[in-house]
Amino acid sequence: MFKKILIANRGEIALRVICACKELAIPTVAVYSEADRYSLHVRFADEAVCIGPPRSADSYLNVASIISAAEITGAEAIHPGYGFLAESAYFADVCEASNLTFIGPRPEVISLMGDKNRARARMKELGLPVLPGSEVISSEEGALREAECIGYPVMVKAAAGGGGRGMRIVQSPDELPHLFRTAQNEAAASFGTPDVYVEKYITSPRHIEFQVLGDQHGRVVHLGERECTIQRRHQKLVEESPSTQIDEETRLRVGRQVIKALQEIGYTSAGTVELLMDEKRNLYFLEMNTRIQVEHPVTEMVTGLDLVKHQILIAAGGHVPFEGETIALRGHAIECRICAENPHTFAPSAGKITVFHEPGGTGVRVDTAAYAESVIPPYYDSLIAKLVVHGKDRMEAIRRMSRALEMFIIEGISTSVPVHQKIMADPDFQAGNFDTHFLSRYARNGENASDRVIG
């Protein structure tokens, strides 16, 4: 087992990794920017090293500073969390060259799955269905030809992208040149490359993802699916497991396809295979996140497994934690991402939290690094907390989430709590009748979205 682990992240995920390490009796090293000097992950780690000023590029994305912090503290491994350097093949490679264990997949696997175009081609070879799409396209003329072959509507997508950036929906040939250039520019600004491709666009999709664990001994298992369909601007707001759209036969069939493909590429650590579901419940490979997900607690609640602990154990040479292809899912879990945002406009709301009261009780979990008098800085993601509930069935989980949201008190800044309260109360959500346009449909129909969902 590792004698010391450095956590190359901040906020609730850094604190989450510290909790897992404490239960494994592994000392930890926190890194922090000047803006995070008084953060809880700094307080609860065994050691802490300042790695730069507030800007991410100068701190949490500064590979040299992070490696130096690991070397001067004697850390043997680095856990990247999610975001920042978690899916950087370069960072994983530098860790390896520095005799540090990167707690995640091998650099070449991260590189393969991080290039969406290569990943789609490889997964198609290995038996996973993919949406019709093109190779990387560099010209408007090429995009027009490909879109004509695929059929409108299409989506222009960043080849190295994620998080909704570098993505544009195109309904007709007239729209394509402008949106193609916009996607290219956004991709270059966000990911350092303007590479984009064209893919068939599903009009009313649902977003389903399979959680996997793979060890260094060739075993891969899946831990069921999560439904992540409730989104705004391609970023998830609500996640749940299991999905109302996946029956046991589908879970077993798709799970086996996922396992087979990931065994072929030699996948290790935790990861998530993301799929789109069309109106006929056909599933198509979208991408793979080669890291722990924000929504991993949903799976932990329905399986009873600690995914972060198993990431660490696998990186140290351990085995996946159970026999067989998958594990039984118990009850139903829902996660709401509570963000520092205006609930009407979704504009960020940085500032000092003056009052902070977490809900509790049976089946309620809060993953957060916030506290009263803590400051939400303007430099990073707006996530404050992940509110997760578990119930014997979906309706109990919805009711439990509704009362937990009511008891979650955060003052001093605006939060997305009112959005989540409206979602939980919405009859379409309760009936499982929604797609990724759930929040935007009302505005398109001329109805004020805040009246139905956001107000």
Question: Which H helix or E strand runs over 79?
Answer: strand 77-79
Q: Among the options 16, 232, 291, 365, which is catalytic?
A: 291
Q: Is the dihedral of CA 287, 288, 294, 296 positive or negative?
A: positive
CB burial of 191-223 (b: ≥16 within 10 Å; e: otherwise) equals: bebbbbbbbbbbeebbbbbbbbbbbeeebbbbb
391: Cβ contacts below 8 Å, ≥ 6 apart: 331, 332, 333, 363, 397, 398, 399, 400
In single-letter form, the type of residue at position 114 comes to G
Cα separation, 314 vs 263, in Å, equals 15
Whether the Cβ atoms of residue 412 and residue 353 lie closer than 8 Å to each other: yes
In single-letter form, the type of residue at position 441 comes to R
Bridge partners, 137 (sequence order): 196
Cα separation, 398 vs 332, in Å, equals 9
Cα separation, 259 vs 263, in Å, equals 6
Cα separation, 137 vs 43, in Å, equals 48
- Which of 366, 272, 269 lies closest to 311 in space, CA to CA? 269
Cα separation, 193 vs 397, in Å, equals 42
Cα separation, 331 vs 303, in Å, equals 9
Say whether 291 is catalytic.
yes
For 435, the 3-state DSSP assignment is: coil
29: Cβ contacts below 8 Å, ≥ 6 apart: 4, 5, 6, 7, 45, 46, 47, 48, 49, 69, 70, 73, 75
- Polymer length in residues for the chain: 455
The phi, psi pair for 183, rounded to 5°, reads: -65, -40
Residue 305 has a CB neighbour count (10 Å cut-off) of: 19
Active site members: 291
